[in-house]
Structure 1
Amino acid sequence: MPANTISKDLMQQLLKISSSLSSEKDIDQLLENILQSAMQITNCDAGTLYLNSDNHSLKFEILHTKSKGVHLGGKSGKTISIPPIPLSKINGEPELSRVACYAVNKEEIVNIEDAYNAPLGFDFSGTIAFDQSNNYRSQSFLTVPMKNHEEEVIGVLQLINATDPVSGSVIAFSQEDQEIVEALSSQAAFALTNRLLIRQLEELFESFIGLINHAIDDKSPYTGGHCNRVPDLTMMLADAVNRCSAGPLADFMLTEADRQELKIAGLLHDCGKITTPVHVVDKATKLEKIFDRIHLIEVRAEVALRDIKLALANHEIDTVIADQKHTQLIDDCSFLSHCNIGSEFMKDESVSRVHEIAARYPWIDKSGISHPFLTEEEITNLTIRAGTLNKDERKIINRHIDLTISMLEKLPWPKHLRNVTEYAGGHHERMDGKGYPKGLTREQMSVPARCMGIADIFEALTAKDRPYKKGKTLSEALEILGKMKLGHHIDPDLFDIFIWDKVYEDYAFKFMDKSQMDEVNVSKIPGYNPPPPDYQFKRA
């Protein structure tokens, strides 16, 4: 075959390799491509790829010997148990007796025709011992340092036993082999450096997100737990939808890049809460601000009780009336303490009683001015129909989603993360358009955003770390979630998959107390819809 034909074929091969190296995003696969390409071009039997580690040593990343069927590290799934090779001696001098270390420390290519007749100074005792135990002969070596664009050696590419394509015998690596592998290693180092840099930036970004959640967690341990659990449950549900084989969402596909985008959105879905006042986020009772103001009412009750005793001592009332007033006061204070908890929906008669108590025990301050037993602000809080937040506080809490969207919209998201804001900003929307902040309908929301909506609700229902309520059991939470499906609050198709694939069970095993994990009869869940006959149950 003419030389120019060989050169053309080789050029096409190098261009193909170049394209592969520049486009590969998986670092382990990139390392495999580097080593396999070098072995293919030089027609060698074995190769090892090392990377520099932080502790100034060479770490084995991939080890491959074709004739022995050995493939460790990289994408093989088999761990390399060989310890890293120190680049320095104990006394601090550079290690030069090991070929790979020499290539790094001297930044030179080492091409050895026969390791058993190697130049003085190189220690091949380890190689010889390996050969003896594996019935192998490591003969020709080509060791090339991998330099990045800053001329830093980031690793070593070592090829062993170049083979004559005709006779199959082991030969030395040619000068052409050396030049090609040197060029390949340079390009590989550049591609690897870029990919490592991207990974480091991704890790930095995720760490920054973690820092935000840590700040929220430090501010409110209740919200911090929520910020970490919702992303996990969102991914559980999204993966279940991805596995779904039948129904309206059978065509939904989630790539690894999509998963990463959704995970980040989940981690950031409540980042706006970093501005929400702690006394609102952690409001455990209706009268709580910096402290629970039920204690002020208790002090006033003590004053009212003193007034009853004084009236009795001054013969202004008799013993029977005094006892009645005392009993009534104790009963009223107990009632107010119960109202303050906010653990159940407040009925009209209870609201009326709060107003009656407010006027029942007026007290006079040191200026002689009479005041009702309860202030208007206390009445407003004690008559909150459900939960512990009044209307103004509810607006403050709800505003966190506006702040979340505002904060995320200010970030210059790259193309592969362009949906983060939409996913994170939609978890309080409803399928019927009655949610907030934008009043979006189901058709206006993506599947991942709707997944996060269910995850946010289910986590809140089952959370055991809220200061104002106990975590609900599985059956209680699923009953509420089912009613939300019927009320067009959550996506009905996603709810079905949540039940069919038992996503709630996976979540419960990971995050819920055993005391909450009661028996679930799915057929009794409101809105339960049996899976279609062709639905395949595919748990991860």
Structure 2
Amino acid sequence: MMDQQHPYLLKRLERLNTIGVALSAERDNKRLLETILLGAQEITNADGGTLYTITDDKHLKFEIMRNKTLALAMGGTTGKEIPFLPIPLYLDDGRPNLTTVAAYATVNDKTVNIENAYSAQNFDFTGTRKFDEKTGYHSQSFLTIPMKNHESEVIGVLQLINAIDIDTHEIIPFSQANQSLVESLASQAAVAMTNQNLIEGLKGLFEAFIELMAEAIDQKSPYTGGHCRRVPELTLMLAQAAIDAKEGPLKDFTLNEKEFYELKIAGWLHDCGKVTTPESVMDKPTKLSGIFDRIDLVDQRFELLKKQAECDILKKQVEALKSGQVQDVAKLDSELLAFNQQCDEDREFLRKSNFGSESMTDEDQQRVINIAANQLVNANGNSRPFLSENEVYNLNITRGTLTKEEREIINNHIVVTIHMLDSLPYPNGLKRVPEYACGHHERMDGRGYPKGLTREQMSVPARVMGIADIFEALTSKDRPYKKAKTLSESLYILGKMKVDHHIDPDLFDIFVREKVYLRYAQQFLEPEQIDEVDESKIPGYQP
């Protein structure tokens, strides 16, 4: 008899080893649990089984249920919810639940092998009998084994039902040999589950830290914090559209699950260097902003300039009256009125110029210089220019609100990002995060920064992020220096960037053709921004 069983036992041992190898390689938690239960059923020839995990509130949660006779498969990857409530490990009065087999095995850290549930005296099988009455099944032999991690803590329970004799197909008790094999499997399974939990825990901590970084930037600057959260979303939308492309230059582009996750992490980290950017620069809403907006001081100077002009006119009028030149009094009144009107117009012009625009003309810049030439008399009686050199320099910023020096400070965030990301010890699956994250300010023609990379030197994911970064900025409603643009306005500007070799042309075509812009808009933009888009009017795009 032993000789006949020996080949079968050897086969089961080999199968146990194969299952152990599979457990160590599995990274999906649901498939891992299924492998554990199905492996245990296979080596014991059990008809059914259940796998439980322990919840934080000390209950046994049904994770996987299988039964061959009833063709029952619930939990795990099946997508079918198990309709049974978790089993409490402790009663309401705090005493351990010793009447339920699975709970008993857990709290006592002890394997329970029952030959016949209908004759067992120490456990409550009322629920099992009701299940049998309802289904016509006969639950007889039970093998319940706690699964312990490396710290000898029970983290789950494996329960098998009805061992089937290979020759007679009758229900038989679970043998000691089978019990030993399943205990060995349970030990390997617990290690695999612990490793999986540790991996998921570290992954969760890593992602939480990244999101915390974005939140820190959000708290530092309410104007750009939303950017850090929206760019990853738009990046993944466009990347998926490129993956799904069935035609065109990117029809063969693909990313596996790990590479897609890598791009997601890069999206979250793409602006992490902004934690070092001064708020006075990052949040500069107007050209004359620093500690405060100096435009109010300019307003006061205009009032002083008008008062000084009024005093000069009054002096001249007194002199005219003394010399009998009465007609000059009215003429001087007209001059004062004209001067005051000019001051009011110049003040409104400077207030408008103080807000960053898409461009400031040469004529506008010259007008600022002319206004600055007005002279104010200080308390010591000395004359000084109406505007300081620094104020003229700031007011004559061609685009936006930042001077060349301030823009360099802003641009430096990508250099800081590179230094930060390059210093991290990445696992193999995340080694391209710095490349993806740090390429969103490069241009296809090599005129971007910080490295001046060309399109051929950049990966597709890095080029994806460039478009996502720009489009989010164009449509953002939380920037202090501009109004949020509509879809049609933003796509027009983005199209001009394609024509100007700023962004990737193939990805831009997918962005428009697959209406990635619209999906993003419906999720993140205000209703008034989502206007009708005539794709035929987008520069560089052929519908």
Q: Shorter-chain TM-score category?
A: over 0.9
1:403 aligns with 2:404: no
1:276 aligns to what? 277
Secondary structure class of the residue paired with 1:61: strand
Q: Identity of aligned pairs, percent?
A: 56
Shift of 1:313: 3.5
Secondary structure class of the residue paired with 2:56: coil
Deviates more, 1:324-333 or 1:57-66: 57-66
Secondary structure class of the residue paired with 2:373: helix
Secondary structure class of the residue paired with 1:117: coil
1:190 aligns to what? 191
Shift of 1:169: 2.1
Secondary structure class of the residue paired with 1:59: strand
1:536 aligns to what? none
Shift of 1:314: 3.0
1:485 aligns to what? 498
Cα offsets for 1:386-428 (capped at 9, x unmatched): 1111101100100000000100011101111000000000000
Cα offsets for 1:434-480 (capped at 9, x unmatched): 00000001111111101000100111111111111111111111111
CA distance in 1, matches of 2:8, 2:165: 16
Secondary structure class of the residue paired with 1:314: helix
1:438 aligns to what? 451
Q: Which of 10, 13, 31 is matched with 1:11 structurally?
A: 13
Structure-to-structure mapping, 1:506-525, within 5 angstroms: 506-525=519-538
CA distance in 1, matches of 2:183, 2:251: 49
Structure-to-structure mapping, 1:413-432, within 5 angstroms: 413-432=426-445
1:354 aligns with 2:368: yes
The code of the aligned residue for 2:197 comes to: L
Computed over aligned residues only, the root mean square deviation of the Cα atoms, in angstroms, reads: 1.3
The code of the aligned residue for 2:273 comes to: G
Q: Which of 363, 378, 382 is matched with 2:376 structurally?
A: 363
Shift of 1:15: 2.1
Q: Which of 459, 477, 484 is matched with 1:471 structurally?
A: 484
Shift of 1:149: 1.2
Shift of 1:72: 1.5
CA distance in 2, matches of 1:336, 1:175: 92
Cα offsets for 1:110-144 (capped at 9, x unmatched): 01111111132x11112222222222222111100
CA distance in 2, matches of 1:186, 1:231: 40
1:163 aligns with 2:164: yes
2:322 aligns to what? none
Cα offsets for 1:476-519 (capped at 9, x unmatched): 11111111111111111111111221111111111111111111
The code of the aligned residue for 1:337 comes to: R
1:264 aligns to what? 265
1:46 aligns to what? 48
The code of the aligned residue for 1:151 comes to: S
Secondary structure class of the residue paired with 1:75: helix
2:397 aligns to what? 384
CA distance in 1, matches of 2:10, 2:254: 41
The code of the aligned residue for 2:398 comes to: R
Deviates more, 1:314-323 or 1:501-510: 314-323
CA distance in 1, matches of 2:538, 2:525: 20
Deviates more, 1:123-132 or 1:237-246: 123-132
Secondary structure class of the residue paired with 1:146: strand
Structure 2 unpaired stretches of 5+ = 318-328
CA distance in 1, matches of 2:87, 2:222: 45
CA distance in 2, matches of 1:93, 1:24: 37
1:105 aligns to what? 107
1:255 aligns to what? 256
Shift of 1:192: 0.8
CA distance in 2, matches of 1:200, 1:111: 34
CA distance in 2, matches of 1:348, 1:451: 36
Structure 1 unpaired stretches of 5+ = 531-540
Secondary structure class of the residue paired with 1:301: helix
Deviates more, 1:71-80 or 1:433-442: 71-80
Deviates more, 1:138-147 or 1:66-75: 66-75
CA distance in 2, matches of 1:323, 1:420: 64
Shift of 1:364: 2.3
1:26 aligns with 2:28: yes
CA distance in 1, matches of 2:409, 2:443: 19
Secondary structure class of the residue paired with 2:106: helix
Structure-to-structure mapping, 1:217-232, within 5 angstroms: 217-232=218-233
CA distance in 1, matches of 2:464, 2:451: 17
Give the TM-score taking structure 1 as reference length: 0.95
CA distance in 2, matches of 1:159, 1:110: 11
The code of the aligned residue for 2:104 comes to: Y
What is the count of residue pairs matched by the alignment?
A: 528
2:60 aligns to what? 58
CA distance in 1, matches of 2:65, 2:377: 88
Asked which structure has the greater CA Rg, the reply is 2
CA distance in 2, matches of 1:314, 1:124: 111
CA distance in 1, matches of 2:136, 2:311: 106
Secondary structure class of the residue paired with 1:116: coil
The code of the aligned residue for 2:340 comes to: H
Secondary structure class of the residue paired with 1:154: strand
1:74 aligns to what? 76
1:494 aligns with 2:494: no
Cα offsets for 1:139-182 (capped at 9, x unmatched): 11110000111111000001111112233222111111111110
The code of the aligned residue for 1:137 comes to: H
CA distance in 2, matches of 1:9, 1:82: 35
Secondary structure class of the residue paired with 2:445: coil
1:148 aligns to what? 149
Deviates more, 1:319-328 or 1:58-67: 58-67
Q: Which of 330, 341, 344 is matched with 2:344 structurally?
A: 330
Secondary structure class of the residue paired with 2:79: coil
CA distance in 1, matches of 2:307, 2:120: 104
Structure-to-structure mapping, 1:83-98, within 5 angstroms: 83-98=85-100
